[in-house]
Amino acid sequence: MIRQNIRMAIRTIRRNVLRSALTILGIVIGVAAVITLVTLGEGATAQVASEISSLGSNRLDVRPGQAHRGPGGVRSEADPLEAEDARAIAREVGGVEAVAPVASMSAQAIHGSRNRSTTVTGTTRGFLQVRNWPLADGRTFSEAEERSGKAVCLLGTTVRKELFGSSEAVGAWIRLGKLSCRVIGVLESKGQSSFGADQDDVVLIPLRTFQRRLAGNTDVQAIYVSVKEGISTQKVKEQITELMRERRRISADKEDDFHVMDMQEITKALTGSTQVMTALLGAVAAVSLIVGGIGIMNIMLVSVTERTREIGIRLAIGAMERDVLTQFLVEAVVLSIFGGITGIALGLVTAAIAASVLGLPFIFNAGIVGTAFLFSAAVGIAFGFFPAKQAARLDPIEALRRE
Amino acid sequence: MSGNTHVSQSGPPLVQLRKVRKVYGTGQAAVHALKGIDLTIHAGEFVAIMGSSGSGKSTTMNILGCLDTPTSGSYLLQGVDVGALTRDQRALLRRYFLGFVFQGFNLLHRTTALENVELPLIYRSMPGGARRRLAAEALKSVGLEGRESHSPGELSGGQQQRVAIARAIVTHPKLLLADEPTGNLDSVTSREIMELLTALNRERGLTIVMVTHDVETAAFARRCIRFRDGLIVDGQPPERKPS
């Protein structure tokens, strides 16, 4: 019976090729949009993740506040970290390669008549090691400069270009807000991050200098830690957590008021935004699927009206309500599945082309293809039900009389 | 009726209408289509129903065909009280016991003759092979061998009505209801269709109830019932005219 219904539905659809094609257009576009956007979104996410892991899988970030708030989450209730925390980690935790406490603010960098609004980061020599960031010119901070809070700085290439053009930067003096400091080195270019931020738009100064002369407090926003090769980051993470709980005097029954993110969590936090984008675009696509469903409902209602006499004949020769219901429901579902399959094909092709144009990896996601397929079938059932019910409820006498 | 060897007078009658009334609408606007009719039809009969339009014959056909139910009174089909059944149960009665032939043929367009005849068998969930074989046999028995793959548009009116008859008899119904089966046909074709129905009644013992306006058509039946104003006025067989 169901096979009969499917054959009948396909025949009816083929009889009206143009109308059927227009009917499923909404579904086709909806499904194609979902497939394209999700596939590209996943490609972008995968690219970001691979870029992050290329920085080294051995990095740990310690930040105040609880984890899983996502970027920009509120962490105000937790005490800030201190420079001494970083020294303690370097001293007491085994397997640590380098440690860098970090505090940042935006400031105006001025040299002569040129200026640039940039990010000033107070940190230590360990920063270059943790970030795996070599110098292009000059030298890094000395231990003495760090300890005494000397006014020295390292420039990112963007800042160097803006302030000095082609002239020599090392040895020159620049002003950061009210602080006047000497350029002792220039960093190599890192280029844009995956999120479009210019990593070279930065000025590094010793943390103590930053705290005393710019921020006016002793807060440290984060501590970057790199783990020696061959050492389990998980173990180091546990040791850091233990040490920090001790240092921040957190009793055994309390939760951490800081968190140590490993590479996976950092990746998750950074790719979170692309996932939100994917979800939003997916929602837009879902709306177009619903619009497509309404198109199917419309055409099915027209079809029921046109075929009233046929329904009357079927009822007269012994079709039960559910036979007629099934017939029209199957027709709606076959239509929407046609739309779904066409949309999946179109979406995959579009995604493949767009991925190669945008230079993203093309990732085939069987899950989303399956979901799109089931969703289109569900749209057929949901929006085909009302017209099918209308057909099934027709009075055979009335229906046979209709021309 | 002595000439009809198939009429069975023993056992319960095939059709029994008792004091059947049918009222459409309510109050002032109520239309009394049937005002209490009694009718008994035995298996093997060939009954013609005559009467002017609005006399209640179409209502009676709808009730006999289980498409409609009486407002009061009872309709027993093979002893089953149809009035007490649900819509779906009546659909099943139609599926297994009734066949319909209409004035306007009512075939599915752009569907072959064979597929039209297969349709009632589909609702009986018969497998494809057996279905096609039975449908082809039915078409052959109405003289349409070789026309299986023609669509209704490619057939003449008489041929279309033969397809409709094949569709009605392919399930071997207990009762064939024909609503002005020759109403759209010329006199020669009408005669052919009536001869086909008569043969089905004689040779297979198929019980037929037929509505007609035409005295000549009614003459093919064994018994003629006349309706007037919602009542049966004459249940005697019509006089046979010499042909």
CA A309 to chain B, closest CA, distance in angstroms equals 8
Clarify whether residues A39 and A148 are in a common domain.
no
Q: Is B10 part of a structural domain of the chain?
A: no
pLDDT at B8: 57
Contact B110 A309 (CB under 8 A): no
Angstrom distance (rounded) from CA B82 to CA B17: 10
Q: Is B239 part of a structural domain of the chain?
A: no
Partner B contacted by A315 (CB < 8 A): yes
pLDDT at A67: 59
Stretches in chain A below the pLDDT threshold 50: 70-75
Contact A321 B88 (CB under 8 A): yes
Clarify whether residues A194 and A311 are in a common domain.
no
Q: Is B39 part of a structural domain of the chain?
A: yes
Highest mean pLDDT among A73-77, A160-164, B5-9, B175-179: B175-179
pLDDT (mean) for B83-107: 94
Partner A contacted by B92 (CB < 8 A): yes
Is pLDDT at B31 greater than 70 in this prediction?
A: yes
Contact A318 B92 (CB under 8 A): yes
Question: Contact A316/A395 with Cβ under 8 angstroms?
Answer: no
Clarify whether residues A206 and A318 are in a common domain.
no
Q: Which residue has the tokens 């909404």?
A: A26
pLDDT at A68: 54
Clarify whether residues A217 and A296 are in a common domain.
no
Clarify whether residues A251 and A114 are in a common domain.
yes
Partner B contacted by A55 (CB < 8 A): no
Clarify whether residues A232 and A378 are in a common domain.
no
Contact B119 A314 (CB under 8 A): yes
Q: Is B8 part of a structural domain of the chain?
A: no
Partner A contacted by B102 (CB < 8 A): yes
Give the best residue of B59, B64, B94, B211 to mutate against chain A (max A CB count within 10 A): B94
pLDDT at A74: 47
Partner B contacted by A110 (CB < 8 A): no
Instruction: State the residue range of the domain holding B155.
Output: 15-234
Q: Is B74 part of a structural domain of the chain?
A: yes
Question: Contact A296/A379 with Cβ under 8 angstroms?
Answer: yes
Give the count of alpha carbons within 13 A of A11, CB side only: 13
Clarify whether residues A109 and A235 are in a common domain.
yes
Last residue of a domain, one of A204, A230, A256: A256
- Residues 6+ away with beta carbon under 8 Å from A314: A323, A324, A327, B119, B123
Give the best residue of A12, A310, A317 to mutate against chain B (max B CB count within 10 A): A317
Candidates A244, A336, A254; CA nearest to A296 is A336
pLDDT at B2: 42
pLDDT at A75: 46
pLDDT at A7: 87
Q: Measured between alpha carbons, how far is residue A180 from residues A113, A157, A308 in Å?
A: 15, 19, 88
Chain B residues whose CB is inside 8 A of the A15 CB are 110
Partner B contacted by A316 (CB < 8 A): yes
Clarify whether residues A149 and A212 are in a common domain.
yes
Is pLDDT at B6 greater than 60 in this prediction?
A: no
Clarify whether residues A288 and A184 are in a common domain.
no
State whether residue A181 is helix, strand or coil: strand
Question: For position B220, which CATH number holds?
Answer: 3.40.50.300
Q: Is B55 part of a structural domain of the chain?
A: yes
Question: Contact A373/A337 with Cβ under 8 angstroms?
Answer: yes
Clarify whether residues A247 and A325 are in a common domain.
no
Clarify whether residues A41 and A120 are in a common domain.
no
Clarify whether residues A98 and A34 are in a common domain.
no
Residue of B nearest to A400 (CA): B106
Q: Is A61 part of a structural domain of the chain?
A: no
Q: For residue B108, give the DSSP letter.
A: P
B127-137 pLDDT, tens digit per residue, is 989 999 999 99
Among B68, B88, B120, beta carbon nearest to A397: B68
Q: Is A73 part of a structural domain of the chain?
A: no
Q: Measured between alpha carbons, how far is residue B49 from residues B16, B71, B90, B215 in Å?
A: 15, 21, 23, 10
**What domain count does chain B have?**
1
Contact A4 B122 (CB under 8 A): yes
pTM of the complete model = 0.69
Instruction: State the residue range of the domain holding A36.
Output: 2-50+271-401
Sign of CA dihedral B216, B14, B177, B148: negative
Candidates B72, B90, B79; CA nearest to B36 is B72
What percentage of chain B exceeds 90 in pLDDT? 81
What percentage of chain B exceeds 70 in pLDDT? 92
Partner B contacted by A92 (CB < 8 A): no
Q: Is A347 part of a structural domain of the chain?
A: yes
pLDDT at B242: 43
Chain B residues whose CB is inside 8 A of the A393 CB are none
Chain B residues whose CB is inside 8 A of the A4 CB are 122
Cβ-based burial of A212 (10 A; exposed 0-12, middle 13-18, buried ≥19): middle
Q: Is A69 part of a structural domain of the chain?
A: no
As given in the structure block, the two tokens for residue B137 are 């046999």
Q: Is B161 part of a structural domain of the chain?
A: yes
**What domain count does chain A have?**
2
Chain A residues whose CB is inside 8 A of the B108 CB are 310, 313
Q: Is B9 part of a structural domain of the chain?
A: no
